[in-house]
Amino acid sequence: MVKVFIYPATSLILSDMVARFGHEPLGSAIGIRERIQTPGFESPPLQITPEEPKKGLKWAAVEVPSGVRGRMAVYGPLIEAAEAAIIVRNPDFAFGCMGCARTNELVLFHLRNRGFPVLELDYPTSDDEGAAFVAAIREFLEGLPKEASQ
């Protein structure tokens, strides 16, 4: 079982596919859960405090808007922990954690440059495309190691 970063990181479909085929999906929920379950100062709704955009400086410079840096504080560690990624291109309607196009561009850039296996595909728009979509993901996931590379 390896950790697979899913993009869009909020995707139900990708989260399901990765877990269904025996691996661990890494997405927004994992990063948000960690914050929601950690004591500290109150910062609703996501428990992302003003400190997080500062932590995001590791992935984006200070001239980059705070919302990008705050999101990168969530995604950066997940990308670093990941061992593979599945990317669905052009998720036009993934909001919230995936709501900023600039962050999404930066996340994609990091994923493509990690040197780990990456599968890129598009959302299906027909039954045939659905079959190809599932087959491609399954094949990709079955090609990943069964054990985490620690």
Partner 1 sequence: MSEKVRIAQLSCGPEYSGVQKEIYDAAAMVDAEVFFPDIMLDDVREGFESFGLDVRSPDLKLAIGRAKALVEGKIDADAVFIATCFRCAEAAIVRNELRRYIHENSSLPVVSYSFTERTTSGTLLTRMEALTTIARRRALLAREEQEGITLGIDSGSSTTKAVVMKENEIVGTGWLPTTEVLKSAEGAVDLALAEAGVTMNDIQAIGTTGYGRYLIGKHFNAQLVQEELTVNSKGAVYLAGRQHGPATVIDIGGMDNKAISVLDGIPGTFTMGGICAGASGRFLEMTAKRLGIDITELGPLAMKGMGEKVPMNSYCIVFGTQSLVNALAEGSSREDVAAAACHSVAEQVFEQQLQEVDIKEPVIMVGGTSLIQGLVYAMGQLLQTEVVVPHHSQYIGAVGSALLASGFVKGE
Partner 2 sequence: MAEYVPKYVGTVTKYVFVESPLLTPKDLAVRAYEISGGVMIKETCFGLQVTGTPDEVEALVAKVREFDPSHIFVKDRGFPPGDERRCRANLGGARPGYLGHEFEMGKVRYISKGLEAAATTVPPLPEKPKPFDARRLKKLMDAEEP
Kindly identify the residues of this chain, within the stretch 8-67, that bind partner 1 according to CB under 8 A: 42-46, 48-54, 63-67
Report d(CA 90, CA 49) in Å as an integer: 29
Give me the least distance between CB of 45 and partner 2, in Å please: 4
Closer CB to partner 2, 116 or 133, in the complex: 133
Give me the least distance between CB of 66 and partner 1, in Å please: 4
Q: Which does 76 bind (CB under 5 to 8 A by kind): partner 1, partner 2, none?
A: none
Q: What contacts 107, CB < 8 A, 6 or more positions away?
A: 7, 9, 72, 75, 79
Closer CB to partner 2, 63 or 147, in the complex: 147
Contact 116, 83 (CB under 8 A): yes
DSSP 8-state secondary structure symbol assigned to residue 120: E
* Among residues 40, 92, 127, 146, the one that binds partner 1 under rule CB under 8 A: 92
